[in-house]
Amino acid sequence: STSEPLKIMISGAPASGKGTQCELIVQKFGLVHISTGDLLRAEVVAGTEIGNKAKEFMNSGRLVPDEIVTAMVAARLSREDAKQRGWLLDGYPRTFSQAESLEKMQIRPDLYIVLDVPDEILIDRCVGRRLDPVTGKIYHLKFFPPESEEIKARLVMRPDDTEEKVKSRLEIYKQNAEAASSSYSNITKKIDGSRSKEEVFKEVESSLSQLQQSKGKILKSG
């Protein structure tokens, strides 16, 4: 495409559906998906220094120290594919200091999406969530069961998806959400994430399409 690449941030409580919507956004818009949770989990599995440092924080549902996460995000954003295809930043910034770090690096999105979902739904979504280690796809035992017995047999649960840990992740989210998102209030789009994933995506898709059109126009006239 000739239009300028999109730069999108997606935020929301644990299990609000960020990863699920990102799968759909990537399919339709081809952006580079940068999820700090996924990047950190990959470091843990690979047993790297970052992974070893992050593991205890993640497994107990606490935030990994800013400097670790920020260095990781900065490195990923500066790669050529993200510059060419545009990016979709998922799970970052999560604190005021992370948002400040991005400002210092002059990294700003075109649009800041917040998925809004009530607490009682979030707990159910986390406890039933399962991941396919082969494809990386996100499932839910009740809402999105696996397509085959073969996939079902290999699904894994995240160590931080127990009811107790979800509650503490939610607390931490609430403590930080306002400060982390304050720099983006003029480009924020709040979306009701409690509906079906298709309905949520319809709204996400229309915001991104509009944005893409307006960025194209700026390029043509400029």
139 or 184: CB nearest ligand AP5: 139
Residue 37 CB neighbours (<10 A): 19
Query: Which residue in 8, 32, 40, 211 binds ligand AP5 (CB under 6 A)?
Result: 40
Helix (H, G, I), strand (E, B) or coil at 178: helix
125 binds ligand AP5 (CB under 6 A): yes
User: Is 169 a catalytic site residue?
Assistant: yes
Does residue 165 bind ligand AP5 (CB under 6 A)? no
Pairwise CA distance, residues 103 & 86, whole Å = 18
CA distance 156 to 132: 7
How many contiguous H segments (helices) and E segments (strands) does the chain have?
Answer: 10, 7
Active site residue 62: no
Which amino acid is residue 84, in one-letter code? Q
Q: What are the residues facing 204 on neighbouring strands?
A: none
For residue 140, the 8-state DSSP code is E
Q: For the CB of residue 143, give the shortest distance to ligand AP5 in the complex, in Å.
A: 4
**SS3 readout for 186-207:** HHEEEEECCCCHHHHHHHHHHH
Contact characters 63-102, ligand AP5, x per CB under 6 A = xx----x---------------------xx-x---x----
Residue 201 found at the interface with ligand AP5 (CB under 6 A)? no
Q: Does 169 bind ligand AP5 (CB under 6 A)?
A: yes
Q: Measure CA 221 to chain center.
A: 33
Kindly state whether residue 52 participates in binding ligand AP5, applying the rule CB under 6 A: no
Q: Binding to ligand AP5 by residue 58, rule CB under 6 A? A: yes
Interface with ligand AP5 by CB under 6 A: which range of 10-18, 43-51, 80-88, 99-107? Answer: 10-18
Can you give the binding site for ligand AP5, defined by CB under 6 A?
Answer: 12, 14-20, 36-37, 40, 57-58, 61-64, 69, 91-92, 94, 98, 125, 128-129, 138-140, 143-144, 160, 169, 196-197, 200
Active-site amino acid positions: 18, 94, 129, 158, 169
